Amino acid sequence: MDEFLYLSLPPMVIASLAAVACVLPGNFLLLSRRAMLGDAMSHVVLPGIVAAFLLTGSGSGVVMGAGALAAAGLSALLIEFVTRRAQMEPGAAMAVVFTAMFALGVVLLETTGTSGVHLDVEHALYGNLESLIWLGAAPPELWRLALIAAGLGLALRLVWRPLVLATFDPVFAQTQGIPVAWLRAGLTAATALAAVAAFQAVGSILTIAMLICPAASARLLTRTLPSQLMASLGFAVASALLGYILAGYAPLWAGLPFTLSASGMIATVSGLMLACAALIASHRARAAL
């Protein structure tokens, strides 16, 4: 029992909190057809990481995370600017911004001499869920993600009505005086905050999966937005817990001498849940006919 409490429970709680933090903005990204924003975030953080190292001379995880968050926030503003000023589709604006920023990061890496320096990119992007164990105190990622998840939940509660209206009918929302552009920018910034925090703890693959899969699964199986949000939270937490158990315990129960990547397995479970939801939804559609 002590081994479970100190070695397994903290990573499971952290994975669940990361999933919750990602799925809250993920529902509205999906409904506004910007589901791939999380993938864009994973590309734009490189110049922030390099700039953070150049400014501080430190390659620690905290510094790298701060640089990644700054780059993600800047990309959010640039995406909104390009979308409005160039009258581009959000997907096209994302492609322009994250391609340019990733290229800028590569250029900085090669021209400033930092390409020969070991930067702790793993902590900023890929994470290591299995290492987040309880050693005398809770891992800092646990409190950080708990605070971010609670903050995002509170913010969503405060702007629920205008955000829903702006998501489903932005033209009508504008006629009612709702600041649609600011809400879109705020949603993008919230996504950046959740994504970068989750990157450091659980990795980019799991973060992208959590932004999309639980919300998409819930969208296929529900009819109202509140029920979709609650179902997506359930799917997110269930995939985090089940994925960690399958990665860490199932191979040992089967007598195998190794374990699997927890983040990869959680992402796989969330993808399988989405596939099952798609099958159930298609069966319902055929039955309705």
Count of positions (residues) in the chain: 289
- In a domain? residue 120: yes
Q: Does residue 249 form part of some domain? A: no
Check which CATH number belongs to the domain holding 149 and give it.
1.10.3470.10
What does the block give as tokens for 9?
């429970």
Please state, in angstroms and rounded to a whole number, the distance separating the CA atoms of residues 7 and 3. Answer: 6
Q: Output DSSP code: residue 178.
A: -
> Does any domain span residue 283?
no
**pLDDT of the chain, 289 residues: tens digit per residue:** 666 667 778 889 999 999 999 999 999 999 988 887 777 776 777 788 788 888 887 766 677 778 877 887 788 778 778 887 887 777 788 788 878 888 888 787 777 766 555 555 555 455 677 777 777 777 888 888 999 999 999 999 999 999 999 988 888 888 888 888 888 888 888 888 888 788 777 877 788 889 999 999 999 999 899 999 999 999 999 999 999 999 888 888 888 888 888 888 898 999 999 999 999 988 766 665 5
Q: Is residue 216 part of a domain?
A: no
Q: Is 129 a member of any domain?
A: yes
The count of structural domains within the chain is 1
The percent helix, strand, coil of the chain (3-state, each to 5) is 85, 0, 15
* ∠ CA 266-201-74, rounded to 5°: 110
Q: Establish if 134 belongs to a structural domain.
A: yes
What is the pLDDT, as a whole number, of residue 170?
Answer: 86
